[in-house]
Protein backbone atom coordinates (compact mmCIF):
# COMPACT_ATOMS: atom_id res chain seq x y z
CA UNK A 1 0.00 0.00 0.00
CA UNK A 2 1.47 3.33 -1.13
CA UNK A 3 -1.52 5.66 -1.23
CA UNK A 4 -4.60 6.01 0.94
CA UNK A 5 -7.66 8.00 -0.11
CA UNK A 6 -9.82 9.58 2.57
CA UNK A 7 -13.06 10.79 1.01
CA UNK A 8 -15.57 12.88 2.89
CA UNK A 9 -19.11 13.64 1.83
CA UNK A 10 -21.59 16.46 2.34
CA UNK A 11 -21.49 18.77 5.32
CA UNK A 12 -18.30 17.28 6.71
CA UNK A 13 -16.64 20.60 5.79
CA UNK A 14 -18.69 22.02 8.68
CA UNK A 15 -17.09 19.81 11.33
CA UNK A 16 -15.99 21.84 14.31
CA UNK A 17 -19.11 24.01 14.33
CA UNK A 18 -21.68 21.49 13.11
CA UNK A 19 -23.78 19.89 15.89
CA UNK A 20 -20.86 19.61 18.33
CA UNK A 21 -22.89 17.44 20.73
CA UNK A 22 -23.02 14.80 17.98
CA UNK A 23 -19.79 15.33 16.07
CA UNK A 24 -17.46 16.98 18.60
CA UNK A 25 -15.37 20.06 17.94
CA UNK A 26 -12.61 18.53 15.85
CA UNK A 27 -12.47 20.04 12.36
CA UNK A 28 -11.92 18.18 9.12
CA UNK A 29 -8.58 20.01 8.84
CA UNK A 30 -7.61 18.58 12.26
CA UNK A 31 -8.48 15.06 11.07
CA UNK A 32 -6.50 15.59 7.88
CA UNK A 33 -3.48 16.93 9.79
CA UNK A 34 -3.42 13.93 12.13
CA UNK A 35 -3.74 11.39 9.32
CA UNK A 36 -1.15 13.29 7.26
CA UNK A 37 1.33 13.11 10.14
CA UNK A 38 0.71 9.39 10.50
CA UNK A 39 1.03 8.77 6.76
CA UNK A 40 4.23 10.83 6.59
CA UNK A 41 5.71 8.64 9.33
CA UNK A 42 4.75 5.52 7.41
CA UNK A 43 5.88 6.74 3.99
CA UNK A 44 2.32 6.67 2.68
CA UNK A 45 0.76 9.23 0.33
CA UNK A 46 -2.52 10.63 1.66
CA UNK A 47 -5.20 11.92 -0.71
CA UNK A 48 -7.69 13.69 1.56
CA UNK A 49 -10.80 15.18 -0.06
CA UNK A 50 -14.26 16.50 0.78
CA UNK A 51 -17.20 17.21 -1.50
CA UNK A 52 -20.82 18.18 -1.10
CA UNK A 53 -21.53 16.66 -4.53
CA UNK A 54 -22.43 13.00 -4.98
CA UNK A 55 -21.02 12.73 -8.51
CA UNK A 56 -17.64 14.05 -7.43
CA UNK A 57 -17.45 11.39 -4.72
CA UNK A 58 -18.42 8.76 -7.31
CA UNK A 59 -15.58 9.92 -9.58
CA UNK A 60 -13.05 9.80 -6.74
CA UNK A 61 -14.14 6.31 -5.69
CA UNK A 62 -13.75 5.16 -9.30
CA UNK A 63 -10.27 6.70 -9.52
CA UNK A 64 -9.12 4.98 -6.33
CA UNK A 65 -10.64 1.67 -7.41
CA UNK A 66 -9.00 1.84 -10.84
CA UNK A 67 -5.64 2.53 -9.17
CA UNK A 68 -6.22 -0.31 -6.66
CA UNK A 69 -5.73 2.19 -3.84
CA UNK A 70 -7.76 1.81 -0.64
CA UNK A 71 -10.39 4.29 0.48
CA UNK A 72 -11.56 5.44 3.88
CA UNK A 73 -15.03 6.77 3.08
CA UNK A 74 -17.30 8.90 5.21
CA UNK A 75 -20.07 9.52 2.71
CA UNK A 76 -22.09 11.59 5.21
CA UNK A 77 -25.80 11.56 4.39
CA UNK A 78 -25.11 9.93 0.99
CA UNK A 79 -24.34 6.81 3.03
CA UNK A 80 -28.05 6.36 3.51
CA UNK A 81 -29.23 7.22 0.01
CA UNK A 82 -26.59 6.75 -2.64
CA UNK A 83 -27.04 3.80 -4.95
CA UNK A 84 -24.53 5.63 -7.18
CA UNK A 85 -21.80 5.32 -4.54
CA UNK A 86 -22.75 1.69 -3.92
CA UNK A 87 -22.43 1.00 -7.65
CA UNK A 88 -19.14 2.94 -7.91
CA UNK A 89 -17.54 0.88 -5.13
CA UNK A 90 -18.80 -2.36 -6.65
CA UNK A 91 -18.13 -1.36 -10.25
CA UNK A 92 -14.58 -0.12 -9.66
CA UNK A 93 -13.87 -2.94 -7.17
CA UNK A 94 -12.73 -0.29 -4.70
CA UNK A 95 -11.42 -1.44 -1.33
CA UNK A 96 -13.46 0.77 1.00
CA UNK A 97 -13.64 1.12 4.74
CA UNK A 98 -16.82 2.95 5.67
CA UNK A 99 -16.43 5.32 8.61
CA UNK A 100 -18.70 7.52 10.66
CA UNK A 101 -17.93 9.84 13.51
CA UNK A 102 -21.25 9.16 15.21
CA UNK A 103 -22.91 5.88 16.08
CA UNK A 104 -25.55 6.06 13.38
CA UNK A 105 -27.43 3.11 14.91
CA UNK A 106 -28.10 5.12 18.05
CA UNK A 107 -29.63 7.94 15.98
CA UNK A 108 -32.69 8.43 13.76
CA UNK A 109 -34.08 5.38 11.93
CA UNK A 110 -33.17 6.85 8.52
CA UNK A 111 -29.51 6.60 9.49
CA UNK A 112 -29.72 2.88 10.23
CA UNK A 113 -29.57 1.91 6.57
CA UNK A 114 -26.29 2.17 4.67
CA UNK A 115 -25.90 1.82 0.91
CA UNK A 116 -22.16 1.48 1.47
CA UNK A 117 -21.85 -1.28 4.08
CA UNK A 118 -22.74 -4.17 1.77
CA UNK A 119 -19.89 -3.29 -0.58
CA UNK A 120 -17.40 -2.15 2.07
CA UNK A 121 -14.53 -4.24 3.39
CA UNK A 122 -15.53 -3.10 6.88
CA UNK A 123 -17.33 -0.45 8.86
CA UNK A 124 -16.06 1.66 11.78
CA UNK A 125 -18.41 4.05 13.51
CA UNK A 126 -19.12 5.90 16.69
CA UNK A 127 -15.59 6.79 17.79
CA UNK A 128 -15.60 10.42 16.66
CA UNK A 129 -12.48 11.45 14.79
CA UNK A 130 -10.79 8.29 16.09
CA UNK A 131 -12.94 6.31 13.62
CA UNK A 132 -10.64 7.56 10.84
CA UNK A 133 -7.50 6.48 12.73
CA UNK A 134 -8.97 3.06 13.38
CA UNK A 135 -9.75 2.71 9.69
CA UNK A 136 -6.16 3.60 8.82
CA UNK A 137 -4.96 1.06 11.42
CA UNK A 138 -7.12 -1.57 9.74
CA UNK A 139 -5.74 -0.79 6.27
CA UNK A 140 -2.16 -0.89 7.54
CA UNK A 141 -2.68 -4.20 9.33
CA UNK A 142 -4.43 -5.69 6.29
CA UNK A 143 -1.69 -4.56 3.95
CA UNK A 144 1.04 -6.00 6.22
CA UNK A 145 -0.74 -9.33 6.39
CA UNK A 146 -0.92 -9.41 2.57
CA UNK A 147 2.81 -8.72 2.03
C1 LIG B 1 -22.01 10.80 9.49
C2 LIG B 1 -23.38 10.22 9.84
C3 LIG B 1 -24.40 10.55 8.76
O4 LIG B 1 -25.67 10.03 9.12
C5 LIG B 1 -24.54 12.05 8.61
O6 LIG B 1 -25.43 12.35 7.57
C7 LIG B 1 -23.23 12.73 8.43
C8 LIG B 1 -22.08 12.29 9.23
C9 LIG B 1 -20.99 10.58 10.63
O10 LIG B 1 -19.79 10.69 10.36
O11 LIG B 1 -21.38 10.32 11.76
O12 LIG B 1 -23.10 13.68 7.67
O13 LIG B 1 -21.52 10.13 8.33
What is the edge-to-edge ordering of all strands in the sheet holding 45-50?
Answer: 45-50, 3-8, 71-74, 96-100, 122-125
Instruction: Report the alpha-carbon distance of residue 31 to residue 101 in Å, rounded.
Output: 11
The pLDDT of residue 137: 97
- Residue 13 in contact with ligand 1 by CB distance below 6 A: no
Q: Mean pLDDT, consecutive 10-residue segments, the chain of 147 residues?
A: 96 95 95 98 97 98 98 98 98 98 97 98 97 97 83
Domain segments of the chain as ranges: 3-146
Quote the pLDDT of residue 114: 98
Tell me, yes or no, if the pTM score tops 0.75: yes
Q: Ligand 1 mean position to 45 CA, how many Å?
A: 25
For the Cβ of 95 lying below 6 angstroms from any atom of ligand 1, the answer is: no
Residue whose CA lies nearest to ligand 1 atom number 12: 76
| Overall fold of domain 3-146 | Rossmann fold (3.40.50)
Q: Is the CB of 117 inside a 6 Å radius of any atom of ligand 1?
A: no
Quick check: is 112 catalytic? Answer: no
Q: What integer pLDDT is reported at residue 102 of this predicted model?
A: 98
Expressed in angstroms and rounded, the spacing between residue 1 Cα and the centre of ligand 1 is: 27
- pLDDT tens-digit map of 93-110: 999 999 999 999 999 999
Dist. CA 124–CA 101, nearest whole Å: 9
**Cβ atoms 47, 3 nearer than 8 A:** yes
Q: Is 23 a catalytic residue?
A: yes
Amino acid sequence: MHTVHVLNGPNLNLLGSREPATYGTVTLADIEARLQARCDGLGLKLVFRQSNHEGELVTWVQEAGRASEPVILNAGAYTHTSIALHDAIRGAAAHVIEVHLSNVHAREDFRHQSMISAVAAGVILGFGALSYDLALDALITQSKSKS
